[in-house]
């Protein structure tokens, strides 16, 4: 993920401000807030600026995914060259859904909050939509998960662990 964040940082950095780079990276699937905080540390964006940019950037896609992803997937499945990709995404998300389905709210919150490969707000939103979790419950669980991820990634990205200990 770090190399992908660096690529985005170098590529976008030539065209927009470093704060805009952090914001954009935070909205990108796979990178999300985790990549945004890594990029902000690389770009030496102050943590007090980086955290709100990353949180807002990571939150923006969530309602759109929750509300529209099933309709978008249904449309994409009608295109022969997209059907396999969409079905793969659905299978991938549902293979991870057991972690969420058991304790719906807490499961979704922890799935989004613990920064492991394949977790995060994008995948959490996709799973929540496919499991038809209540919209308000999903939004709140994902927001709290993003806060957990922010704390963890701030410690990792900015080396705050040494300051805390």
- Tell which residue, 149, 90, 141, has the closest CA to residue 119: 149
Residues 6+ positions from 23 with CB-CB distance below 8 Å: 36, 53, 54, 56, 57
> What spatial distance separates the first Cα and last Cα of the chain, rounded to whole Å?
26
Tens-place pLDDT, residues 67-126: 999 999 999 999 999 999 999 988 888 887 776 766 889 999 999 999 888 889 999 999
- Place 1 in a pLDDT band, splitting at 50, 70 and 90: low
- Say how far residue 136 (Cα) sits from the centre of its chain: 18
pLDDT at 164: 52
Measured CA to CA, the distance from residue 64 to residue 33 in angstroms comes to 17
Rounded Cα gap, residues 141 and 3, in angstroms: 29
Average pLDDT over residues 128-136: 92
State mean pLDDT over 17-25. Answer: 93
Q: Give the per-residue pLDDT at 70.
A: 93
For residues 35-40, give the mean pLDDT. Answer: 91
CA 6 – CA 74 distance, rounded (Å): 34
Using 50, 70 and 90 to split pLDDT, how confident is the model at 162? very low
For residue 127, is pLDDT > 80?
yes
């Amino acid at each position: 993920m770090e190399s992908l964040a660096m690529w985005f940082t170098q590529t976008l950095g030539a065209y927009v401000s470093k704060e805009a780079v952090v914001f954009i990276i935070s909205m990108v699937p796979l990178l999300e807030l985790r990549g945004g905080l890594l990029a902000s540390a690389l770009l030496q964006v102050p943590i007090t600026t980086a955290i709100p940019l990353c949180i807002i950037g990571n939150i923006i896609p969530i309602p759109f995914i929750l509300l529209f992803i099933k309709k978008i997937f249904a449309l994409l499945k009608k295109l022969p060259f997209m059907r396999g990709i969409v079905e793969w995404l659905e299978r991938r998300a549902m293979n991870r859904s057991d972690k969420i389905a058991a304790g719906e709210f807490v499961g979704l919150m922890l799935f989004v909050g613990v920064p492991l490969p394949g977790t995060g707000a994008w995948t959490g939103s996709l799973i929540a939509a496919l499991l038809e979790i209540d919209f308000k419950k999903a939004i709140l669980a994902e927001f709290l998960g993003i806060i957990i991820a922010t704390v963890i990634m701030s410690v990792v990205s900015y080396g705050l662990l040494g300051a805390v200990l």
